[in-house]
Structure 1
Amino acid sequence: MADRAGTVLALIPARGGSKGVPGKNIKEVAGKPLIAWTIEAARQARCIDRVVVSSEDAAILQVARAWGAETPYERPAELARDETPSIDVVLHALQQLPGVAWMVLLQPTSPLRAAEDIDAAFALCQAKGAPACVSVTEAGTLPWWMFHLSADARLRAFLPQQDRPQRRQDAPPLYALNGAVYIARADWLRRTRSFLTDETLAYVMPPERSVDIDTPLDLAVAACLLRERLPRGGA
C-alpha cells in the first residue's frame, strides 16, 4: 500500500485567459459554470481531503468559492501565461500549502470525469504502491494511418509503410492522455517535476468521459453529454 500520511489535495488550475473559448472556465455548461463540474467531482471523491482552485482571476476565484472550493491564495500573474507549464502551477501550490502528501491535479476542461474516476485512479496508486497515475483513453485515430502533407499537397506517411498493420483489426491498442486526472505523491513530484515517468501508472477511462475542452465544438459536445446526466426536467 502507498503511504497516505498527510493531505490528499485536489488542485484545480483555472487561469482567466483562454484563446480557444474565451472565459471558458466559468462559462455556463449544462446549467453550471464549467469549473463547477470539476469542483463537484472532487468534493464527492472519497480520497480527497481538500479542494483548492488556483487562479489569478478574481471572477474565477469567486465562482470557485461559491461552488465549495477553497481559494487560499491568488496565483501570481507570471504563472498564468499561455506558455506557463502546468507543473510550475502545481509546484507553486505545494509551496503555498504545507502538509500535502498527494497531489491530484484536475483540469476544469475535463467536466465529464466522475468522482469514481478520481477514487479509482488513487486506489490504483495505493494498490500498486506507485508514486503516480494519470488517466488515459484509447486513441481513436492511430498513427499508422496518419500523414504529413508535402508542399504540393501529396500524402507522406507519418510512420514507415513497413510498420503499418495490414488491417486495422491487427493494430495494437494505443492510449492517449485525456487530461482528466493526474495523481502523484508530493515528494516524488517535487523531485521529478513531472507526472509522467516510467513509474507512472495508467487509469483507463471511456471516451464518453474523456472530452477535453479546447474548442467551441468540444464545449458543445461536453454540454450535450452533461445534459444526459441531469435528472429529467433538470437544467
Structure 2
Amino acid sequence: MIENKKVLAIIPARGGSKGVPRKNIRNLAGKPLISWTIEEAKKSKYIDRLILSSEDDEIIKIAKEHGCEVPFVRPNELAQDDTPGIEPLLHALKEVEGCDYVISLQPTSPLRTADEIDGCIEKMLATNSPACVSVTEPTHSPYWMYKVNDKEKMIPLIEQDRFAIRRQDLQAVYALNGAVYVAEVDWLKQSKSFLTEETAAFIMPNNRSYDIDTEEDFLWCEYLLKKSSER
C-alpha cells in the first residue's frame, strides 16, 4: 500500500514460447526463471497482493511453490502468440478487484530489483502521472541508424541538422526494457495501454534491463546472476 492506495502486482506468464521453449520455468542460475520475479516482488514495500496470470498447469504449480497467489486460470484464448499483452492484464483486473494501482512484472526480466519496482511506483506519484514504465538508454542510438532505399543508399532514420560523431553529442533517448509497468487501475481500464503521452519514465541501468527473448539472452542473464552471487 502507498498513500492509502492498494497495489496489485500481476506476473503474466503463458506456457508458449518459441524463442526459448518453456523459458518461464526453465532453470536460471539455480531456480526457475519466474521465481526471480516472484522473490523481488515479495520484497516490495508497496505491493499488497501478488498474483500470477497463466493458462499453464506447470507454471501455476511452480509459481505457487514459490509463494505467488494464483486466483484464476487464464483462458487459453488469452495465451496465444498474437494475444495483445494488455489483454491478460485487463482480464486479471476483472477477476481480482479492489486495488487502486496495478503493476505488470514480466518474468523475463530476472535482473530487476524490488527497489526498482518501488521506484517506478514512486516516480508515478512524484510526477502526478497515471502510469509509469521502466526504460533504459539503448546500446545503439537511433541517431546512428539508417534505412536503405531501393537504390541501396543510406537514409538517416531520424533527420538531423548535423551528424553527431561523438556519442556524448547525441540527444539522450530511451527504450522500453519490459521490467516494470505501473498504472492507476481505472485509468488503465480506459486507456487499455500503459503508454500514452501522460506516462512517466523510470530509468533503469542497462545491466539490469535484460529482457529474455532468445537463448543468448538467457545464457547472458545466467552468467550475470551467477557472477553476482559470487561477490
Question: Which residue of 1 is the match for residue 14 of structure 2?
Answer: 15
Q: Whole-Å Cα distance in 1 between the matches of residues 40 and 219 of structure 2?
A: 20
| Aligned residues of 1:16 and 1:60 also touching (Cα < 8 A) | yes
Residues 136 and 177 of structure 2 are in contact (CA less than 8 Å); yes or no, is this contact kept in structure 1? yes
- Are the equivalent residues in 2 in contact too, given 1:5–1:101 (CA < 8 A)? no
Task: Compute the TM-score of the two structures, normalised by the length of structure 2.
Answer: 0.93
Query: Displacement, 1:167?
Result: 3.2
Q: Distance in 2 between matches of 1:66 and 1:153?
A: 55
Report the Cα offset of residue 185 of structure 1.
Answer: 0.6
Contact 2:2 2:46 in 1 (8 A): no
Structure 2: where are the runs of 5+ without partners? none
Determine what percentage of the aligned residue pairs are the same residue: 49
Who is 1:50 aligned against? Answer: 49
Which amino acid in 1 is paired with 2:146?
F
The two structures have a TM-score, normalised by structure 1, of 0.92
Tell me what 2:205 maps to.
206
Deviates more, 1:147-156 or 1:29-38: 147-156
Unaligned runs of 5+ in 1: none
What corresponds to 2:129 in structure 1? 130
Report the counterpart of residue 116 of structure 1 in structure 2: 115
User: How far off is 1:63 after superposition?
Assistant: 0.4
Contact 1:45 1:116 in 2 (8 A): yes
C-alpha distance in 1 between matches for 2:153 and 2:83: 36
Distance across 2 between alignment mates of 1:29 and 1:3 = 32
Q: 1:32-43 alignment to 2 at 5 Å?
A: 32-43=31-42
**RMSD between aligned residues:** 1.9
Whole-Å separation in 2 of the counterparts to 1:150 and 1:172: 25
Moved more, 53-62 or 128-137: 128-137
Q: Which amino acid aligns with 1:14?
A: A
Query: How far apart are 1:201 and its partner, in Å?
Result: 0.9
Shifted more, 159-168 versus 45-54: the winner is: 159-168
Cα distance change, pair 7–22 in 1 and its aligned pair in 2 (3 A): same
Contact 1:132/1:183, CA 8 A, preserved across alignment: yes
Indicate whether 1:81 and 2:80 are aligned: yes
* Residues 12, 107 of structure 1: 8 Å contact kept: yes
What is the count of residue pairs matched by the alignment? Answer: 231
Provide the C-alpha distance between the structure 2 equivalents of 1:159 and 1:127, rounded to a whole number of angstroms. Answer: 32
8 Å CA contact 1:144–1:163 kept in 2: the answer is no
Q: Cα offset for 1:166?
A: 4.2
